[in-house]
């Protein structure tokens, strides 16, 4: 089993040839710090709207090195922290428009990937959340009722038989599903976006660590980039910037990927529509069926590191690997004994108010 080395996704795709670092001080219209999804999508839409802008992206390692190239491959419509906090601050109509915008974003990513020729193994199978005992079933039903109060969510509640017919999770008591989610290959999307924005004229400088962001300046050991606008797209690595150590919470998550499963195993599991799979346990899991017929399954391994420290190489403790393997085998007994090809971890950025 490979442990770490950034992620299974990058090992499968192959590490990109590293782009040159920042050659020295320069001036730009927009400087984006961080070449993950946030930074790359920002560059894409800015360049499409105003092709004449000089846009510079600074990245400490390589584009997609962080959470964008390590995640579970869910392109979904979730509103972090829930809609209710936005109802309290902005009203129900605004929260409903927010949800509609999140739904539309899933289709927009799919549209851009197709238009720009990015093959990211995208299948829009929806999001499937299963319950496996009585307390989980109660939470599932309550969650489904709450979601169905919003016309924009399109959530369906499934019986145990209906759930098992779609994804045969052993012991499932029910499930809920909505259509606004797609499976993706995270590294393929990140690499594809980086290539597209570069072709549009965006400058990406890798191996360039930004140590501080001040008004109109991004400071690095290789020089200072001055810009009319500096976009901080550092997500889970924000804690490493001077003065921002406590601004965002770096939360770690871990995954494993199996070897490709035999057709007989898939026959027992189903999962033909490639839904993303989650559950109603408090220590939740998330999974996908990959394009090459593996299962990639994740959860919170060691979620917080003392002093807001962040993971680097993706190495995952043996206990976390065993726990994820246990969930996999419990859900799908036919996977017992299947080889785990890769384990990895990564850090994501969480607002401390979850908004």
Using the Cα atoms of residue 16, residue 20, residue 21 and residue 25 in order, give the sign of their dihedral: negative
Q: Is residue 42 part of a domain?
A: no
Q: What percentage of the chain has pLDDT greater than the value 70?
A: 97
Q: Is residue 171 part of a domain?
A: yes
Give me the pLDDT at residue 339, please.
Answer: 98
Using the Cα atoms of residue 99, residue 43, residue 252 and residue 291 in order, give the sign of their dihedral: positive
Q: Is residue 65 part of a domain?
A: no
* Across 76-83, average pLDDT: 91
Give me the pLDDT at residue 183, please.
Answer: 98
Q: Is residue 218 part of a domain?
A: no
Domain count of the chain?
A: 1
**In 10 A of CB 197, how many CB atoms?**
28
Give me the pLDDT at residue 354, please.
Answer: 82
Q: Is residue 211 part of a domain?
A: no
Three-state secondary structure call for residue 217: strand
The domain of 345 spans 124-182+249-351
Give me the pLDDT at residue 302, please.
Answer: 61
Strand 223-232 relative to strand 285-289, pairing:
unpaired
Give me the pLDDT at residue 247, please.
Answer: 83
Q: Is residue 16 part of a domain?
A: no
Q: Kindly list the distances between the CA atom of residue 335 and the CA atoms of 129, 212, 293, in Å, as whole numbers in the listed order.
A: 20, 47, 12
Q: Is residue 309 part of a domain?
A: yes
91-105, 213-227, 237-251, 272-286: the lowest-pLDDT one: 237-251
* Across 153-163, average pLDDT: 98
Strand 203-205 relative to strand 127-131, pairing:
unpaired
Tabulate helix, strand, coil % of the chain (nearest 5).
35, 25, 40
Give me the pLDDT at residue 239, please.
Answer: 86
**Could you tell me the CATH number of the domain that includes residue 147?**
3.30.9.10
* Residue 240 pLDDT exceeds 90: no
What is d(CA 126, CA 181) in angstroms, rounded to the nearest whole number?
A: 4
Q: Is residue 23 part of a domain?
A: no
Read off the pTM: 0.95
List helix spans (H) across 125-200.
Answer: 134-148, 160-166, 186-199
């Amino acid at each position: 089993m490979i442990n770490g080395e950034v992620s299974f996704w990058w090992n499968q795709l192959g590490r990109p040839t590293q782009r040159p670092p920042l050659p020295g001080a320069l001036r730009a219209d927009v400087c984006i710090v961080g070449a993950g999804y946030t930074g790359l999508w920002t560059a894409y839409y800015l360049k499409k709207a105003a092709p004449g802008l000089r846009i510079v992206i600074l990245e400490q390692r390589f584009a997609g090195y962080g959470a964008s190239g390590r995640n579970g491959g869910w392109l979904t419509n979730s509103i972090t922290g829930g809609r209710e906090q936005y109802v309290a601050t902005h009203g129900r109509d605004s929260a409903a428009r927010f949800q509609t915008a999140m739904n539309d974003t899933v289709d927009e990513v799919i549209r851009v990937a197709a238009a720009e020729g990015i093959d990211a193994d995208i299948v829009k199978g929806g999001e499937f959340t299963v319950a496996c005992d009585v307390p989980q079933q109660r939470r599932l039903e309550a969650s489904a009722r709450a979601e169905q109060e919003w016309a924009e969510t399109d959530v369906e509640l499934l019986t145990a038989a209906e759930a098992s017919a779609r994804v045969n999770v052993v012991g499932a008591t029910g499930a809920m599903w909505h259509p606004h989610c797609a499976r993706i290959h995270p590294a393929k999307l990140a690499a594809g976006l980086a290539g597209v924005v570069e072709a549009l004229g965006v400058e990406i400088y890798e191996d360039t660590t930004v140590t501080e962001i001040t008004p109109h300046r991004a400071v690095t050991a290789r020089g200072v980039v001055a810009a009319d606008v500096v976009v901080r797209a550092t997500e889970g690595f924000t804690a490493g910037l001077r003065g921002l150590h406590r601004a965002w919470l770096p939360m770690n998550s871990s995954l494993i990927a199996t070897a490709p499963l035999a057709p007989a195993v898939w026959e027992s599991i189903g999962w033909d529509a490639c839904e993303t799979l989650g559950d109603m346990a408090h220590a939740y899991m998330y999974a996908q069926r990959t394009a090459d017929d593996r299962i990639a399954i994740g959860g919170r391994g060691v979620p917080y590191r003392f002093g807001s420290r962040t993971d680097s190489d993706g190495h995952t403790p043996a206990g976390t690997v065993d726990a994820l393997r246990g969930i996999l085998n419990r859900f799908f007994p036919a996977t017992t004994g299947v080889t785990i090809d890769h384990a990895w971890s990564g850090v994501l950025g969480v607002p401390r108010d979850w908004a």
